[in-house]
Structure formats: structure tokens, C-alpha cells
Amino acid sequence: MANAERRRVIATRGTPQGLQELLDDGVIDSVVRALESGKEADVFIVVCEGRQCIAKVYRSRQFRSFKNDAGYREGRTVRNTRAQRAIDRNTRFGQKLAEKAWHVAEVDALRRLGAAGARVPGVIAHHDPVVIMEMISDSRGNLAPNLGEVPLSPEGALAMYDVIIEQVVIMLQNDLIHGDLSPFNVLVGKDGPVIIDLPQCVSAAHNVQANRLLERDVRAITRHLGVIEPSIADLDKHAWQLWAEYERGTLEAGFRPDPEKERPTEVGDLAGLAEFIQTTKRDADLERRAAEGDEDAKALLRAAERREARAQRAADARAAAVAEAEAKAAPRGGGKRPKSQKGGGKAGPVRRRRRSAEADEPAAPAPEDRERERDDRDRERQRGREEPGRGRARRRGRGRSGGADRPAESGGVRRPSGREPRKGRETPARGASGDPGPSSEGGSRPRRRRRRRRPPTAEK
């Protein structure tokens, strides 16, 4: 009981909840002190099974400074299809599963590499979100420093580079790439360098950025050791040989890049290739942000699709215009047109046939004929606008112009209205005695009929 109370008191002094649960369960005996706080986890020195160990407590995604992990999670899958769909859709449940998978990835990588003989810390226990590992110590029994804190001679720098490249080759043979290798992630213990911090390790076979991450890891080590030994500074340019051997399946444990071998270049348009890479990277970033629910990224993707559609339509229109121009420029009859020769020859019959074919085609109207036709159409259109009023006046028999003028426009024939004329009234075309009206003889205007008045109503 006293030990349990002591553990609880120790746990309340700034100890994370994960370590407090392990103290209550008796997995660890005590927490010695906090060691450091990284981008995504807090590290403590604890006592487990009577020896000092390292407890790495992961922080949740919202409380860690390293959040852009989409490039490292590419290629990672889980066996449960329901869980994989939730991770892909980025739901709340999927986010929790992705966070747990991020922690498990480091534990799996440490166990795989430890079984393969790589220099990595051994895993003692894993209780999510806490990983308990063995503590790397120096020759004095203290905590081992990182590579950036160790003074090296030029010969020591060359030996250190050789051992680290050996660990990189072992990792690549096991289909793993560290992804964040640097002097701060290499501890110099009593037996040599040890690689730590592998939650962001990627699969060399399933991640499209694996080659770039491999070269970046080697570059980070060569730049640091190149300050001590200048001959190491340019060795990162030959890291492509590691990837080439891995792709061919001929990578062996003792392989080292050859400094005399040059990288093959088969690209002619380097500027175009660089632009293509930047465009692809930008599109991938937009798609990732759109998948995470960013409305601005979705709008940019829709705008890009519209631009591509407009460009495709413009290209199709240009191709159609070129094809039409070529069809018009091609000679009639399909064959090649023979060259004209002086004195006739074979060009004569061809010219005669062409002239006869042109004679069969209708001639284009002259400009004055087109203007005349246009004026006629305008007059017909104007007459059509005035026709409703004139027709109504004709039916009532009160046309403003002479009765003989209107039949003359339609061929001189007046159409019967189907009604008998009223008594005591005359038709516009003839007078009361049956003789033609004065308008037919070019005389004066016909007499205007009086309007019949409506009888008064009987309401009054």
C-alpha cells in the first residue's frame, strides 16, 4: 500500500496521465525525471524491472508541433477495412485510429530492425500512448549524447559515416526509410551510433517520396560530418546508388556508394521537368487539403478543372479550324493538281474541266441585287406591321384610302367578306349606281360614311 501511495505522489508531480496509469498498474516502479520534450512526444527516465529505461509519451495531434504527417502516412494501411475507410475519410474515429497507427509504426519498426541486427533501442513494453525502451548509455553509464554533441576527429567522422550508412542500408533492406534522420536522432553509445525516433519511418515500396526521403537522410548526415572532414560533404550526391540497387534487388549489407560513379541524366528539358514536378506537388497538396475538408482547396481544384476544360475546348477548336482550312485548300477531285505547262500539254484538259465545273455552280448575286432584295424584305416587314389595322378598317368598310388602291396591291381582286352590304350604303369599290368609284378613276377621295349611333339605354 505504501508503494502504491508513493507511486501516486510521484505521478502527480507533472507526470502525464499515461505514466500515471502505468505507475498504478505496477508496470513501472517510479519516474526519475523528465528528460526532454520533442515535437510530438515527451521523454522521461523511469525505473522498470529494477533498471533505468526510457518512457516516450506521445502527445495527441492537437498538442504537438509536428502535424504535417500526410507524406509519411502514405502507404500505411490497416487490415480492418472499416478502420481503413474511416482513416481515409478523416472522420473522428479515423483520426483516433491514425493517431494510434502513428505510435504503433515506431514500435513495429524498432522490433523489425532489432531482429535484423540494426543499431536501434530495444522495446520493453508498449501501452499506448507510452513506449518503454532501453536507455542508451555511454561508457560511464550516463545517458548517451546525440551526434551533434560529440567531438570527432576527421578519422572518427569517416568511421561514423561508414557505420551510419551501414544502418541506412540495413533499414533499406527491410523496406524502411527513416524519413527524419539527423545528428539529433543518432545517439553515440558505448558500442557506437544508435538510430532513434522512428515514428515517421516510411515504406520504401509503398511511398512515392521514398527516394527523396532517403537522399535527404543521407544529406543531413554528410553535411554535419562534412564540417569535420570535408571529403564527406559531397558524398550525399551518390546516395542515388542506394536506391538504384534497391530497385534492382541487388542491395547487399556491405554496399557503399561509389564516389567515382556519376548519376545518369536522360532528361532533355530540365526546366519543363522542374515545372512539372512543382505542378504535381501543388496539385497533390491541393488534393490532400481538399480531402481534409478545406473549402479553399476544393474551390481551387474546381477552378483548375474549368481551366483545363477551356484549354481542351480551345485546342479542339484550333484543330477543327486547321482541318477546315486544309480541306478548303485541297484541290477538287482529290488528286494533285498538275503544274501548268506552256503550250497546253496535260494542263489544258484539267483547266477546261475546272471551268466547266465552275460554270455549273450558281453565280453569287451582285451587291446591288443584294441591296434590292434587302429593301424588298424591309418593305414587306413594314407592310406586315401595318396590316392588322388596315384589315380591321377594310372589314368595317371605312378604309382611309380609296377602295381601289388596296385591291390593286393584291392583284386587283377584292376578296368577298361573306356579308351583305347594308342598305343605303356603298361599297368602297363602287358607287351607289354601280359605277366605279372616283378612286378608280383617279378622282377625289370617296365620301366618308357616318358612324351609326348606338340607341340610348332604357335604364333611365
DSSP result, 317-381: HHHHHHHHHHHHHSPTTSSPPPPPBTTBTTHHHHHHHHHHHHHHSPPPPPHHHHHHHHHHHHHHH
Mean pLDDT computed over 393-417: 48
Report the share of the chain in percent with pLDDT over 90.
Answer: 28
Return the pLDDT at 41: 85
What CATH number does the domain located at 139-263 have? 1.10.510.10
Mean pLDDT computed over 264-293: 78
- Concatenated DSSP letters for 246-282? HHHT---TT----TTPPPP---S-HHHHHHHHHHHHH
Return the pLDDT at 346: 47
Separation CA 74–CA 95 (nearest Å):
15
The answer to whether residue 197 scores a pLDDT higher than 50 is yes
- Are 45 and 132 in contact by the 8 Å Cβ rule? The answer is no
pLDDT band at 267 (very low <50, low <70, confident <90, very high): low
Q: Which stretch of 216-225, 293-302, 381-390 has the lowest confidence by average pLDDT?
A: 381-390
The answer to whether residue 341 scores a pLDDT higher than 70 is no
Mean pLDDT computed over 171-187: 93
Return the pLDDT at 172: 95
The answer to whether residue 296 scores a pLDDT higher than 90 is no
Q: Which stretch of 59-63, 183-187, 245-249 has the lowest confidence by average pLDDT?
A: 59-63
The dihedral of CA 396, 400, 402, 404: what is its sign? negative
pLDDT band at 422 (very low <50, low <70, confident <90, very high): low
Mean pLDDT computed over 361-375: 69
State pTM to two decimals. 0.54
Taking the C-alpha atoms of 56, 61, 65 and 66 in order, what is their torsion angle to the nearest 10 degrees? Answer: 80
Return the pLDDT at 11: 44
Which residues does 327 contact at the CB level (< 8 Å), separation at least 6? none
pLDDT band at 95 (very low <50, low <70, confident <90, very high): confident
The grid coordinates of residue 6 equal 508513493
The answer to whether residue 79 scores a pLDDT higher than 80 is no
The answer to whether residue 88 scores a pLDDT higher than 90 is no
Return the pLDDT at 16: 81
Amino acid at 35: L
Residue spans per domain, the chain: 139-263
Separation CA 316–CA 309 (nearest Å):
11
Q: Which stretch of 97-106, 278-287, 390-399 has the lowest confidence by average pLDDT?
A: 390-399
pLDDT band at 1 (very low <50, low <70, confident <90, very high): very low
Mean pLDDT computed over 385-392: 54
In which element (H, E) is residue 2 found? helix 2-11
Alpha carbon 303 to chain centroid, angstroms: 10
The answer to whether residue 457 scores a pLDDT higher than 90 is no
Return the pLDDT at 241: 93
Q: Which stretch of 55-64, 349-358, 444-453 has the lowest confidence by average pLDDT?
A: 349-358
pLDDT band at 329 (very low <50, low <70, confident <90, very high): confident
Q: Which stretch of 120-124, 232-236, 265-269, 354-358 has the lowest confidence by average pLDDT?
A: 354-358
The answer to whether residue 42 scores a pLDDT higher than 80 is yes
Which residues does 15 contact at the CB level (< 8 Å), separation at least 6? 23, 31, 44
Beta pairing, strands 51-58 & 176-177: unpaired
Residue 418 to residues 395, 421, 423: CA-CA distances in angstroms?
10, 10, 16
Give Dmax over CA atoms of the chain in angstroms. Answer: 147
Report the share of the chain in percent with pLDDT over 70.
Answer: 68
The overall average pLDDT reported for the chain is 77
Return the pLDDT at 332: 61
Q: Which stretch of 63-72, 92-101, 413-422 has the lowest confidence by average pLDDT?
A: 413-422
